[in-house]
Amino acid sequence: MIAVDGWLAGQRSSSGASPALMILQVHDELVFEADEAFVPILVEGAGRLMSSAAQLSVPLVVDSGTGSNWDEAH
């Protein structure tokens, strides 16, 4: 979560606007509010960072969902 937050901070535009905000953590889920055009970049970047958060003997799988609200994203 900390790595994703740092990565998002680096995605700010020259005006300081962020294309996405991490708005909620629920257990092992992160919930974002993002510009629609940024969603594919967010899914790839956050998924990559989350799946590499720990070195395990089995893969750390990250699933992503998108939608207008949390219910649609599931």
**Residues 45, 6: contact at Cβ < 8 Å?**
no
The predicted pLDDT at position 28 comes to: 87
- Name the residue with tokens 């606007």: 17
Residue ranges per structural domain of the chain: 2-53+61-73
The predicted pLDDT at position 45 comes to: 96
- Name the residue with tokens 């939608």: 67
**Residues 21, 33: contact at Cβ < 8 Å?**
yes
pTM for the full predicted model: 0.88
Query: From CA 38, how far away is CA 34, in angstroms rounded?
Result: 7
**Residues 13, 19: contact at Cβ < 8 Å?**
yes
The predicted pLDDT at position 70 comes to: 84
The predicted pLDDT at position 16 comes to: 80
Q: Which regions in the chain score pLDDT beneath 70?
A: none
The predicted pLDDT at position 17 comes to: 85
